[in-house]
Structure 1
């Protein structure tokens, strides 16, 4: 799995070893009690969001009496849910991070480096606490339009969440860190902060050279040192704004708030929960068993099933994390029995995440339509064939790698058995069409539609597959809240970094440079591919789209590139960057869900990434694949 912030931290879901000494024992008991309370609140918040959005759909579509304040309340609860989820992710060690270098250290050195990484995270939280408080206090004068209450009720989630993360972080440090390591780590953090503070007057005159120092140098140093990705982004951005600009630091917190408060992101925890529900009710297993009956007996057959299942499940959730969460637990055990290496499995899972970025109802498609004015229905139509091209490229690599796979344990199904499995899987196979129909017919928005999927899955699980364990319901809510908290916190930090890059003039310089690229439409597409692969690996899809979409789509139009075609090229390029190590946060999501170390996947991902790059070039070169059915 993705390595926790401290190497002694047990995997997610496993409690910390009970300390024997008195002070540590008290800290441990206090920490466990606090985390149990936070887990309960997070579960209630997520369940409340599901009920609220479902009630909104019923009121609007069935009763024709929309609840005008539902979106406002949902957004308010979502920020609290995200911050509580981020707290739980820190407690469980589920904030994603890169350990390619750290894992190669000796055990004792690694413990020290992990202690330093956790200390850096705590230092960031301590530095942004006061700005977060002032930001929330400033929001008190704003009255929400529908509920007519102070916006401080929503914004207070930021300082409260930061305080809770500080408490949890310090507790983990005290319980699991060695005293000498803790003292040394605190000293290192203090020296570095002091050094940068003293260098402030020297850094300010450097102008845009500071972009390399902070957004390349510091980010790379923190990421490869094992500091969680979100905290690495935030440290670089906070340092850049504090030391090289006169920007009030409350603005940094405000940009984080903006990134975490997009209502469309509410789809993330809901769809993650839907993915867990699909697995728990047996729907995912039924779907995969049917696909396995068709091709599972072939060399690399289960890998083909993984690619096909990701294509199908993408239509269910629209969230790549939820897609992977629904597929990996079902397929991976059997694939490992056949001798597949876990590194190859997570590499394929990650690249299928990039492959399916254009399959509706994709959150990125919805975002790109909202900020550029491109028809979302056209984007939904145009996104299906490009994903097929990339899937075919991945299948070719699978064929090369698994030509000599041992099939002694593979089962060949008769036509009668395939037909029976098809009938059994039909309710599960129908779910993507139910989801798409609800969106296309206007029954629910892309965010609300997950609640329809949740109700459908519960009904099918109870009545058809008869696999529904209510005892797991609470744990699934907590798991969805924790994972979504880690993801949304990354997006918030990436949004703050994107805003800082915009204020520096970087985005305008990039747009001006790309508009002057020779070669007309083809040159513009090629430079766009390179740029968005890089941006996708650093900024994540939604912030990159919000930042550069309005700037570059008009240039693409002037260059003669169809807007839907350009959208597909941009989204697939960002997807490749998002799921590419060492910076792509989507890759770490795949590792977290697969419970495989990121280091293991890096050794196998090269061939799959090359296939994606080839497929992307084909999509870019053949516009018909994107616009042929419009």
Structure 2
């Protein structure tokens, strides 16, 4: 064969040169596609801020509400979620667990990396046609305010999925080894074929299929390094296609429902706000003050993280948004002081579970809505359980950092603390401004982040005199990618929750729990275990909608106060939500922190144990939940 010269002047064969040219061509197309998606995704973040802010100003300042603002924000939000998911896919930023594949030899690891792309491609190919069908059916629905066909919103699903399919194909084309690509595609195709051939057997298994798909398939995919969203999606479409007669169109509809809650729009906006806080110097000023107070204490900023999550929890109505508001402020300084990334994301996840009952909590509101329990009573009862779990987390922080070397850290004088406080006042005022805007009715939980964004921009420009316009574009793209990765997980998890509902599993579980011997203590113990497991796959609101109407009457029947039971159930679901390897919240925390999930696996175990201890205390002492009810 004729030899040619590689760009690095290494002689290669003509066939190898052709492969190299194909890879170069695929990489060039990939880069072009990436630019075409990143620009509109970044612009959508800005437009969403403008639309929501316009709604706040029109309603509160001019007393002329824009009836179309929420509707337009909702339409654009699905496009932001899907294009953000595409950007995350292009950048390889969808959350995946590689703890297992990290232990295998490099050749096997490379193969599993290609399998992850092939598995994601398989899921997308299955749902893209139903997504087109779903969008076409939405064309018959007219939006109430703008009076336009709802296809303008729903089209985001097939377009996003189509772009991810194209990205996956380009990524496979960029892989240097054809053998790797064919092997990965062959393995995924073979597994799909085996499951299809086993369909008659699976249809006879009944609810055992829940173990096959939602435990077996999910676990195998997650441990093989398939991104979490696609692992959930594969399990759901496999279960629906092979064991039921339900059309795949319904799965797409449930994904749309999960990703389209307007309250979730606070996720990208708070992510962007967190980046602004860091870029404008507000974070530096705030952390400098906090460090002057607790910097000389071992593990001091970890205590600050626990307290900060307690204070901001519930502002946005989204736990992911709460974490996005806190992590960018504290993590850089904590890293500079020697904190390990794994411990940072582990504590952030644990505080997410700790603060699940802090009002205003969407889960508590949902409980009140579906069970008839007083929401005011739930809000009152939710404060102290979070303190108890926070205390258990602080005990772990004390133990882990008891030997921290602070010889290089000088205790600040009162004068230095005072100066740091004055400088930090505009930054410290931000969380109070956000909470006041919600409490006073100036803005909704979704809109309030826009007030924070405007405040941060003005503080950066006028007070701290620090605003790098060149960073604005990359920040917007990062916001879109991070939000898309989180929202696709939520959409896939919502589809999985719906599949569990249709199986009748929820009713069977409630019946079994009602028949338990041992009365209230046994029912409470089983509830804790059940809701930890449910929280890891369903998240709070879907689980409450499924099981609240069934289990709360049983709790009343065995003598457990509803508010007390609600606190225990919500905290148990929080532990499940933020506990790896299945907890969606843990991967959201990793995405927000930009820390690999593997790094937090070991450190989080101590915090999860502390949360369980606190949960048991809350369950055993009803006064913690009921003491302030009067």
Report the equivalent of 1:586: 585
Give, in angstroms, the shift of residue 595 of structure 1.
3.6
Counterparts of 1:334 and 1:452, CA distance in 2: 26
Structure with higher Rg: it is 2
Report the equivalent of 2:75: 76
> CA deviation digits over 1:201-225, x for unaligned, max 9?
2211221111111111111111111
Is 2:315–2:438's contact at 8 Å kept on the other side of the alignment?
A: no
Alignment of 1:107-186 (within 5 A): 107-176=106-175, 178-186=177-185
Give, in angstroms, the shift of residue 180 of structure 1.
0.8
Is 2:269–2:450's contact at 8 Å kept on the other side of the alignment?
A: yes
Counterparts of 2:489 and 2:190, CA distance in 1: 26
Is 1:540–1:574's contact at 8 Å kept on the other side of the alignment?
A: yes
Give, in angstroms, the shift of residue 54 of structure 1.
1.3
Is 1:264–1:363's contact at 8 Å kept on the other side of the alignment?
A: no
Report the equivalent of 1:12: none
2:494 matched to 1:495?
yes
SS of the aligned residue for 2:77 comes to helix
Return closer, same or farther for 1:107/1:161 CA change in 2, 3 Å cut-off.
same
Return closer, same or farther for 1:192/1:143 CA change in 2, 3 Å cut-off.
same
Report the equivalent of 2:251: 252
SS of the aligned residue for 1:589 comes to helix
Is 2:175–2:181's contact at 8 Å kept on the other side of the alignment?
A: no
Report the equivalent of 2:264: 265
Counterparts of 2:64 and 2:374, CA distance in 1: 27
> CA deviation digits over 1:544-567, x for unaligned, max 9?
233333433344344444444333
Return closer, same or farther for 1:52/1:365 CA change in 2, 3 Å cut-off.
farther
Counterparts of 1:44 and 1:290, CA distance in 2: 35
Is 1:315–1:432's contact at 8 Å kept on the other side of the alignment?
A: no
Report the equivalent of 2:206: 207
Return closer, same or farther for 1:111/1:463 CA change in 2, 3 Å cut-off.
same
2:412 matched to 1:413?
yes
Return closer, same or farther for 1:469/1:552 CA change in 2, 3 Å cut-off.
farther
Counterparts of 1:565 and 1:62, CA distance in 2: 41
Return closer, same or farther for 1:212/1:78 CA change in 2, 3 Å cut-off.
same
Report the equivalent of 1:481: 480
Give, in angstroms, the shift of residue 237 of structure 1.
0.9
Give, in angstroms, the shift of residue 325 of structure 1.
3.8
Give, in angstroms, the shift of residue 377 of structure 1.
4.9
Return closer, same or farther for 1:203/1:21 CA change in 2, 3 Å cut-off.
same
Is 1:338–1:409's contact at 8 Å kept on the other side of the alignment?
A: no
Return closer, same or farther for 1:476/1:52 CA change in 2, 3 Å cut-off.
same
Report the equivalent of 1:622: 621
Report the equivalent of 1:50: 49
How many residue pairs end up in the alignment?
Answer: 612
Q: Which moved more, 1:165-174 or 1:59-68?
A: 59-68
SS of the aligned residue for 1:96 comes to coil
Return closer, same or farther for 1:28/1:210 CA change in 2, 3 Å cut-off.
same
Return closer, same or farther for 1:255/1:318 CA change in 2, 3 Å cut-off.
closer
Alignment of 1:357-396 (within 5 A): 357-372=356-371, 374-396=373-395
Return closer, same or farther for 1:461/1:379 CA change in 2, 3 Å cut-off.
farther
Give, in angstroms, the shift of residue 151 of structure 1.
1.5
> CA deviation digits over 1:17-73, x for unaligned, max 9?
xx9932222221221111112111111212111111111122222222222222222
SS of the aligned residue for 2:399 comes to helix
Is 1:361–1:436's contact at 8 Å kept on the other side of the alignment?
A: no
Give, in angstroms, the shift of residue 229 of structure 1.
1.0
Counterparts of 2:590 and 2:118, CA distance in 1: 24
Counterparts of 1:524 and 1:128, CA distance in 2: 40
5+ unaligned residues in a row in structure 2: which ranges?
A: 1-17
Alignment of 1:209-358 (within 5 A): 209-314=208-313, 317-358=316-357
> CA deviation digits over 1:235-292, x for unaligned, max 9?
1110111111111111111111111111221121122222222222222332222222
Is 1:578–1:586's contact at 8 Å kept on the other side of the alignment?
A: yes
Counterparts of 2:309 and 2:113, CA distance in 1: 34
SS of the aligned residue for 2:40 comes to helix
Give, in angstroms, the shift of residue 124 of structure 1.
0.7
The alignment's C-alpha RMSD in Å is: 2.2
Is 1:361–1:446's contact at 8 Å kept on the other side of the alignment?
A: no
Give, in angstroms, the shift of residue 568 of structure 1.
2.5
After TM superposition, the score normalised by the length of structure 2 is 0.92
Report the equivalent of 1:7: none
Q: Which moved more, 1:515-524 or 1:268-277?
A: 515-524
Give, in angstroms, the shift of residue 394 of structure 1.
1.1
Counterparts of 1:375 and 1:170, CA distance in 2: 52
Report the equivalent of 2:34: 35
Is 2:342–2:603's contact at 8 Å kept on the other side of the alignment?
A: yes
2:421 matched to 1:422?
yes
After TM superposition, the score normalised by the length of structure 1 is 0.92
Return closer, same or farther for 1:167/1:489 CA change in 2, 3 Å cut-off.
same
Q: Which moved more, 1:289-298 or 1:325-334?
A: 325-334
Alignment of 1:454-465 (within 5 A): 454-465=453-464
Return closer, same or farther for 1:305/1:410 CA change in 2, 3 Å cut-off.
farther
Alignment of 1:521-536 (within 5 A): 521-536=520-535
Q: Which moved more, 1:588-597 or 1:207-216?
A: 588-597
Is 2:96–2:222's contact at 8 Å kept on the other side of the alignment?
A: yes
